[in-house]
Amino acid sequence: MDGKFGSRDRVQASTPMRCPVCDRELEDTLVRDIGGVTANLFWQVHAGRCPEHGWFQTEVISRPPREIFPVNKPFGAARRVVVDGREVFSFPTVWDSLPREQQRARVDPLDARYWQIDRSRGEHEVY
């Protein structure tokens, strides 16, 4: 195991996260348990690398993530990616677009359906 990651990090972990730009399966995936295995709080950070578009990361706290962020490395600084000629610094998920009452429902935070990028939205883009 790579020495730069701690005991709460799982490398080559399975994650519902895919590249938000090309929807490719991510490589070098990493899941860090922040809530801890015994804690009631489900709190994880998921990271992974697209060979073409670089590193992406998201935080999962009891619910599916609202956004997926491009980063320069796992647990590193945010960066921007250019998609169709526009700079983007976060990708809103399908979960974020659900009505608030549906977001209160108890769902599996790792359900891949909620992790898909909502491509109908553009307000998170930087112009």
Ranges assigned E (strand) in 6-80: 9-11, 27-33, 43-50, 54-61, 67-71
- Measured CA to CA, the distance from residue 102 to residue 11 in angstroms comes to 32
Among 19, 47, 68, 94, binds Zn ion (CB under 5 A): 19
Q: How many residues bind Zn ion (CB under 5 A)?
A: 7
Instruction: Give Dmax over CA atoms of the chain in angstroms.
Output: 45
81 binds Zn ion (CB under 5 A): no
Site for Zn ion in 24-53 (CB under 5 A): 24, 50, 52-53
Which residue's CB is nearer to Zn ion, number 10 or number 53?
53
Q: Would you tell me which residues interact with Zn ion (CB under 5 A)?
A: 19, 21-22, 24, 50, 52-53
